[in-house]
Amino acid sequence: MNQTKEPVKNGSTHQGESMVQSKEQKSTLYVVFVALIVDLLAFTLILPLLPSIMDYYQKRDQDTMYSGIASSVHDFQDFIGVPHTDRWNAVLFGGFIGSLFSILQFLACPVIGMASDVYGRKPILLISLIGVALSYLVWSFSKTFSLFVFARILGGVSKGNVGITTAIVTDVSSAEKRGREMALIGIAFSLGFIFGPLIGAVFSKMADKDQDFFVVPALFAFGLTFVNIVFVAFRLKESLPPKKRAKSLSTSWSQASYLVNPVSLFKFSALGNLKSNEIHSMRTIGFVYFCYLFLFSGLEFTLTFLMHSRFGYTSMQQGKMFFFIGSFMALVQGCCTRRIPFGKEKYVATVGIGILIPAFSIIAFAYSTWLMYLALMLFSFGAATVVPCLTTLISRNGKPHQKGVIVGIFRSLGALARALGPIILCTLYWLTGPQLCYLTGAVCLLQPLFLLQRLGHG
């Protein structure tokens, strides 16, 4: 009797442990999802304000950094023989700020991820959030351009929480459910970009007469992040137990060093020996992803400045534009991206890149609002489909134990593209104007489109 009951007892115990583990996993995913939404709401508050912020420093700031850069810009214009286009200087300065932030993320994120492998996810996530909160606090006092740049530097160095969030989801999810649970991150991004810019625009109107317009949004971003810190501190459970952590920073550094070396990234050097056709496939997908995101992120960054100069858009109108883009992206992600049949990812990614070509071409010459919003619909479709599909394609390569490395390399290629895209495309905008800038981007998209079409995936 005892022998027949014992397996049932053990099985019941095992089932009970699995149920407890499942509840803990769901709780962790819930905390991560909420924390990421709050973080992205704070992060996106600044987006509709950037053109106005650059105008603010151009008109009022006389500190050494801004005047020095402006003087160098004018000297360069004289050297190459182009007229002084001060109304486009804000685009150039904005591109500098955007690329500076992304370059720091490109360098810092692998180090932050490496530290979380050694010391655990939760403590490093909290340190990251504290750094982000301090950057918003500094921003609220940024009456000079140099202080604003310092705030962005602090934010760029600290902004590793999205990568840690991805690692936490990987820690607590099974291979079968990981794709569905990773979709939570995409949903959080959509919600952040739908509501964050609009909230930032609304709060910029709430400043007192003697108060700068960016103070209230900056303080609100700080408040959101402070609440996030408390929420994570009390609700998030550590997802990486001590026995699974890396032994020391030195053992993790060799892995992280590959993620900050551009040559190693494009070659996928961290993966070691693989079949020639498989490594060729990954390198092609990685290069397509880099080219696409380089062009997309650069032109996306110039969009607010284009709407400001061409249509005279205020911060509130910029916020409504981001609300439109985010809402359409969420619609496409819900109705299309999540329902793509297996094996059709390459086709959908090809369509997404192809649609961006007429989108950028229309933006170049659109002087009516309805035509611009038609282009923004096409723009949103590409934004909602290309990256998820390319991520799915790259994840099908390599051995099971290499998936984390492959995704890490892929994310680093994206970070490098976002680091270089804004400053280079904004410089082109500054030199040639918006029409040639957007047409150049549209033509250059033909290269990743052609490479993707030739890729040997179904």
Residue that terminates a domain, selected from 206, 238, 270: 238
Does residue 178 form part of some domain? yes
Distance between CA atoms of residues 84 and 69, nearest Å: 14
Distance separating alpha carbons of residues 409 and 279, to the nearest angstrom = 13
Considering the domain boundaries, does residue 157 fall inside one?
yes
Whole-number pLDDT of residue 28:
86
Q: What is the CA radius of gyration of the chain?
A: 23
Residues 91 and 216 grouped into a single domain: yes
Task: Identify whether residues 300 and 363 lie together within a single domain.
Answer: yes
Q: Does one domain contain both 30 and 127?
A: yes
String of DSSP letters for 39-102? HHHHHHTTGGGHHHHHHHHHHH---HHHHHHHHHHHHHHHHHT----HHHHHHHHHHHHHHHHH
Residue 397 lies in a domain: yes
Half-sphere CA count of 105, side-chain side, radius 13 A: 26
- Measured CA distances, 137 to 58, 133, 264 (Å): 22, 6, 37
Closest CA to 302 of 48, 43, 57, 95: 95
Structural domain tally of the chain?
2
In this structure, is residue 355 part of a structural domain?
A: yes
pLDDT value at residue 205: 87
Do residues 300 and 380 both lie within one domain? yes
Long-range pairs for 126-129 at CB < 8 Å and ≥24 separation? 126/229, 126/232, 126/233, 127/158, 128/158, 128/159, 128/160, 128/161, 128/164, 129/39, 129/158, 129/161, 129/225, 129/228, 129/229, 129/232
Q: Do 438 and 318 lie in a common domain?
A: yes
Is 244 among the domain residues?
no
Yes or no: say if 58 and 89 are a contact pair by the CB < 8 Å rule.
Answer: yes
pLDDT for res 83: 54
Same domain, yes or no: 303 and 399: yes
Residue-level pLDDT at 288: 95
74 part of a folded domain: no
- Same domain? For 202 and 140 the reply is yes
Please tell me the distance from the alpha carbon of residue 195 to that of residue 426, in angstroms, as a whole number.
Answer: 26
User: CA 72 to CA 88: how far, in whole Å?
Assistant: 15
Amino acid present at 380: S
For residue 12, how many C-alpha atoms fall within 13 Å in the half-sphere facing its CB?
A: 5
Same domain for 333 and 395? Answer: yes
Q: What is the pLDDT along the chain (458 residues), one digit of tens a residue?
A: 444 444 445 555 444 444 444 777 788 888 988 999 999 999 999 989 988 888 888 777 666 777 777 676 666 666 555 555 666 677 777 788 888 888 888 888 777 877 887 888 899 999 999 999 999 999 999 988 889 999 999 998 888 777 788 778 777 776 556 556 666 777 788 788 889 999 999 998 887 777 889 999 999 999 999 999 999 999 998 888 888 776 666 655 666 667 778 888 888 877 766 677 778 888 999 999 999 999 999 999 899 889 988 999 988 999 999 999 989 988 888 788 777 787 888 999 999 999 999 999 999 999 999 999 999 999 999 988 898 888 878 877 766 555 656 777 887 888 899 989 998 998 898 888 899 999 999 999 999 999 999 886 44
Domain for residue 11, yes or no? no
Does residue 198 sit in the same domain as residue 295? no
Of the candidates 175, 204, 238, which is a domain's last residue? 238
Type of residue found at 79: F
| DSSP per position, 378-425 | HHHHHHHHHHHHHHHHHHTSS-GGGHHHHHHHHHHHHHHHHHHHHHHH
Cα-Cα end-to-end distance for the chain: 57
- 153 neighbors 104 (Cβ within 8 angstroms): yes
CATH number of the domain where residue 154 is located:
1.20.1250.20
Q: Report yes or no on 57 lying in a domain.
A: yes
**Whether 42 contacts 179, CB under 8 Å:** no
**How many C-beta atoms surround the C-beta of residue 381 within 10 A?**
21
* Residue 264 structural domain: 260-458
Pair 227, 264 in one domain: no
Residues 228, 179 share a domain: yes
Q: In 3D, which of 219, 192, 190, 213 has the Cα closest to residue 201?
A: 213
The answer to whether residues 159 and 227 belong to one domain is yes
